[in-house]
Amino acid sequence: MLDWSDSPKKPLAVNGVTLDYACHGPAPDQAPTIVMLHEGLGCVALWRDFPEQVAKATGFGVFVYSRQGYGQSDPVDLPRPLDFMTREAVDVLPHVLDQMGFEQGILFGHSDGATIAAIYAGGVVDHRVRGLILMAPHFFTEESGLEAINAAKGVFESGYLSDRMAKYHRDPDGAFRGWADTWLDPGFRDWHVGEAIDYFRIPTLAIQGRDDQYGTLAQISEIEERSYAPVDTVILDNCQHAPHQEQPGKTLAAVVEFAARLKRIEEEQVEIA
C-alpha cells in the first residue's frame, strides 16, 4: 500500500527503480487524483507548495513524483535515448499510476512532463484518465527553444546552475545532462510527437506563458488544431516557462475551474446512468 502523505517513508519502486514522491489531499479511494509530472529540470521539491495549493483548492488528491534521474529518485544512465519521453509515457507511467492506486482523475504535466502526459493520453488506453492539463508542452523542436537550452547549458557549466540544482537533485549533473544533451543532440531536431494529440478523447486545458523562452505558442496551436476533444487555452501575459511560479494565481484559478468542470461532468454522467 502506498504511503499517502506529503513526507512518505515507504519508497515507490517501478521497474526496479526507486522514485521520490509526495501526496497531498485525499487518497485515490476518497476523491479524484491529479497526477503531476514535472519539467525537464524539475522534481518533487521544485514544485514547491503548488501541489498542496492545488489539493486544497480543488478538493482532489494530488500525487507528485520525480522521474528517474531527478530529485531523490535513482540516477539514470546517460545518454538518454532520444525517445525518452515516449518511453517514460509507455514503459514507466502506467506502472506509477497502478502502484499509487490511481482510480480516476487528471494528468497534469509541465514542459517535458506535459509531453509525457500527452503521449500517454494519445497512446495508452486508460479510462481512468478523465482530463489533461498541459502546461508549457512540447510537441516538436523550435530553434528559439534550442537556443534557450544551449544558453542554460552555458550557465550550468559556469557552476552557478549546478550548485543550485545540487540542493534538489541527488545527481545534478545527470539531471541536467539527461535533459540538455538530449534536446541538443543533432538527431533530436526532427523529433515530433504531435500525432499523439490526434487520439485525445478527453478534455484538455493548455496553459502557456506568452513569453515562454523554451516554446512558442505554436505548441499550443498544435493542440487546438489536432484535438477532436474539447480544448481550453489559457495564455498568460508577463509569463515565461513556469506559469505556476510566475502567474500562480491565474494558473491555480484555471486548474481549479477545469477540475470543477470535470467533476460536474462526472456527476451528471452518474445521475444519467
The model's pLDDT over 83-95, given as tens digits with 9 standing for 90+, comes to 999 999 999 999 9
Q: Which CA distances in Å does 165 have to 39, 61, 71, 98? A: 13, 28, 9, 30
Write the CB contacts of 261 (distance below 8 Å, at least 6 apart in sequence).
203
Would you state the pLDDT for residue 273?
40
Buried b (16+ CB within 10 A) or exposed e, 171-208: bbebbbbbbbebbeeeeeeebebeebbebbebbbbbbb
Counted domains in the chain: 1
Domain that holds residue 225: 12-272
Amino acid at 101: G
Question: Does any domain span residue 2?
Answer: no
Question: Does any domain span residue 4?
Answer: no
pLDDT in tens, 137-174: 999 999 999 999 999 999 999 988 888 999 999 999 99
At 115 the three-state DSSP class reads helix
Q: Which CA distances in Å does 66 have to 37, 82, 122, 249? A: 8, 19, 22, 24
Q: What CATH number does the domain containing 90 carry?
A: 3.40.50.1820
Would you state the pLDDT for residue 10?
85
At 91, list the grid cell. 514503459
Would you state the pLDDT for residue 32?
97
Buried b (16+ CB within 10 A) or exposed e, 231-242: beebebeebbbb
Amino acid at 12: L
Among the residue ranges 24-28, 67-71, 266-270, the one predicted with the least confidence is 266-270
The length of the chain is 273
Question: Does any domain span residue 131?
Answer: yes
* Cβ proximity of 220 and 176 under 8 Å: no
At 134, list the grid cell. 498541459
- Provide mean pLDDT across the span 200-224: 98
Would you state the pLDDT for residue 270?
53
pLDDT in tens, 42-93: 999 999 999 999 999 999 999 999 999 999 999 999 999 999 999 999 999 9
